Amino acid sequence: MKQTHFLLTSLFILFFTYQCKSAEQSSNPTSLPNSLSLQLKLSAIPKELFGESISYSLQFFLCPEPTSKNCYVPILENRYELGKINSNVASLKLNQTLPNNWTHMAIRILGIDKVHGKFSPGHNPFWYSPDDILKLGGNFTKEFRFVSQENKIPNRIQERIANQFAPILVFHKDKKHLPSNIEKYSQFFVSQEYQLPDKDLRRKTKGQTTWNYVSFPEFIPTKNPTHLYYHVRYAETTVSGTQKEALPGFRDDANYWYEVGNGDMVVSYWIWYDWNEGPTKFGNVHQGDLESYALLVSKDGKPKRILLTGHNHILLDTNFHNINSVKNHPILYVAKGNMGSDGGNPTSAYGGYTVKLNAGNFLFNYISDPWDVFPSFDPKESILILPADLSENDLMAVKIGPGTSHPKVKTDMIDQKGSHHSEVEGEQVNQTPTQFVDARRMVKQRIEKLVMWEEPGWVNQKAVEDPDGNHQVDKTVATFFQFQGRLGKHPRTVLKINELKQYGESPENAPFKTNIEQHYTFERPQSERNHTDREGNYGPKFLGDDSTPQK
């Protein structure tokens, strides 16, 4: 027995030693060249850059653990001048000595601020690992090719798709803050700055010490109609900084590019609330709230998947058949909080359930016991905000539940990477009953207007490749489209023990909002996704089929 134990221990030590050496060799291959002979090229250079002085920066990082405090200080950095641009192509040859030990190499183009948000050169910086250099050898070329960031989908198609999938929103009848609009604040728009928290990664990755916000006056307008904000793009959209080799924190939401791919499109929606009161009156109170959802739509306009976000998480990413809808309008439920709170406005595709939240610290968890409380589709207890095209006949018998031809049951699974997804088990009866509800008396109001978000860098600029030939934007929303920062007077999270209240952060402006659905939600969905908290989850409550959507 002792010999067996000794043998197993020895094998474990040998295996562990081998793994460590393998990891070390993979991040620092011994056969790496001592230097690089590199040719850098720029092509399709926009005319706006003619006469500008361009340079390249090469940075090397030693960052085996990306969360390390010293991770983002380059161990070697060199700058190479390309000179003034006088044509639509330019190139530079250089030799770069490699440091002895590194894990990440970044090549960045400098001096292209004039076209930032209008033309993308691709990933900037572009990242390499030691393994990449090993495969490429010591002599290679890297080309940065500029492409217009104009949306190639015609406005008429964007408008048609956005109207087709606008939501039916369900609220508790006493919900105080209903979706409204940001246009009413247009004359009060004044950009201000605030200090970034010391731990904010942008201090290291981008050298930022401040960020922007807009503080809105607190007034209750006599009329406060609901507007829905949307953006339709090709699903094959890439954002700079999302390379698998890239260090975290280098994502650039203003540098992205579109590819047609298989023709699938993503329509993203933003719902604006004037106020967020949090899951209780004690926590996450802030001015302004942007909640969002998005759909993956086939090139012929058929819904494939739906994704909802909230609390800085993906709350749900599932097949469109797994939710209720009426004529392709998804039925979405907006939560209240508990203890009398109006709620933080998270959106779910299912009603009549709760999720217990984490207030962020032991004291507030104990005092406030925060919950998301989602309403039921109930004429006595709930109200609706509807798209304009739904008639009373459409609301006479709204299907709530799976309504499937062959009901199935779901089993929740967690894979080895910790991702939560659902699987179907057999042909068992679905646990959620189906009912038909007369919703005609539930209607509170209609969505007055759908507003298309223009590409921020192209607002009221002369078009180059846009199929509509213009980028004209109404002045009441133009400033918002271009603004990068937070919308509301609470730009930082502040805990005030003496008030027993935590003021959360006002939301990042769309389409710069930091939730991940805005640019690379649906490119390669691998499995069902939903966020789990302390008790409960936002995942599918039933699994549907072709008979679930209400035609």
Confidence of residue 28 (pLDDT cuts 50, 70, 90): low
**What's the mean pLDDT in 147-166?**
96
- Out of 144-148, 294-298, 314-318, 458-462, least confident range: 314-318
Write down the pLDDT at residue 527: 58
Write down the pLDDT at residue 427: 35
**What's the mean pLDDT in 297-316?**
90
Spatial distance between the Cα atoms of 330 and 324, rounded to a whole number of angstroms: 6
- Out of 146-155, 250-259, 328-337, 511-520, least confident range: 511-520
Is residue 22 scored above 60 in pLDDT?
no
pTM: 0.87
**What's the mean pLDDT in 40-60?**
97
Per DSSP bridges, beta strands 354-356 and 371-373 are: antiparallel
Q: Between 531 and 376, whose confidence is greater?
A: 376
Identify which of 250, 236, 235 has the alpha carbon closest to the alpha carbon of residue 202.
Answer: 250
Per DSSP bridges, beta strands 226-234 and 443-452 are: parallel
Q: Are 157 and 232 in contact (CB under 8 A)?
A: yes
Write down the pLDDT at residue 121: 98
Q: What is the pLDDT of residues 94-110, one digit of tens each?
A: 999 999 899 999 999 99
Write down the pLDDT at residue 432: 74
Is residue 123 scored above 90 in pLDDT?
yes
For all residues of the chain together, what is the average pLDDT?
86
Domains, the chain: 35-148 (2.60.40), 155-403+433-533 (no CATH)
- Out of 142-146, 151-155, 409-413, least confident range: 409-413
Neighbours of 539 (CB within 10 A): 23
CA distances from 429 to 32, 49, 293, 413, 433 (A): 59, 63, 29, 19, 10
- Return the percentage of the chain with pLDDT > 90, whole number: 65
Write down the pLDDT at residue 409: 52
- Out of 5-9, 205-209, 464-468, 529-533, least confident range: 5-9
Confidence of residue 339 (pLDDT cuts 50, 70, 90): confident
Q: Between 11 and 393, whose confidence is greater?
A: 393
Confidence of residue 499 (pLDDT cuts 50, 70, 90): confident
Confidence of residue 228 (pLDDT cuts 50, 70, 90): very high
Please name the residues in contact with 312: beta carbons below 8 A apart, sequence gap of 6 or more: 514, 515
**What's the mean pLDDT in 32-45?**
94
Confidence of residue 201 (pLDDT cuts 50, 70, 90): confident
Confidence of residue 367 (pLDDT cuts 50, 70, 90): confident
Is residue 30 scored above 80 in pLDDT?
no
Q: Are 252 and 207 in contact (CB under 8 A)?
A: no
Neighbour-count burial for 354-369, b at 16+ CB within 10 Å, e otherwise: ebebebeeeebbeebe
- DSSP notation for 274-337: EEE-BSBTTEEEEEEEEEEEEEEE-TTS-EEEEEEEETTEEEEEEEGGGS-EETTEEEEEE-B-
Q: Are 396 and 504 in contact (CB under 8 A)?
A: no
Burial of 177 (0-12, 13-18, 19+ CB in 10 A): middle
Spatial distance between the Cα atoms of 50 and 255, rounded to a whole number of angstroms: 20
Confidence of residue 359 (pLDDT cuts 50, 70, 90): confident
Q: Are 293 and 347 in contact (CB under 8 A)?
A: yes
Write down the pLDDT at residue 512: 60
Write down the pLDDT at residue 21: 42
**What's the mean pLDDT in 521-529?**
53
Write down the pLDDT at residue 239: 87
Q: What is the pLDDT of residues 404-457, one digit of tens each?
A: 876 555 444 433 333 444 443 333 335 678 999 999 999 999 999 999 999 999
**What's the mean pLDDT in 374-398?**
97
**What's the mean pLDDT in 66-78?**
85
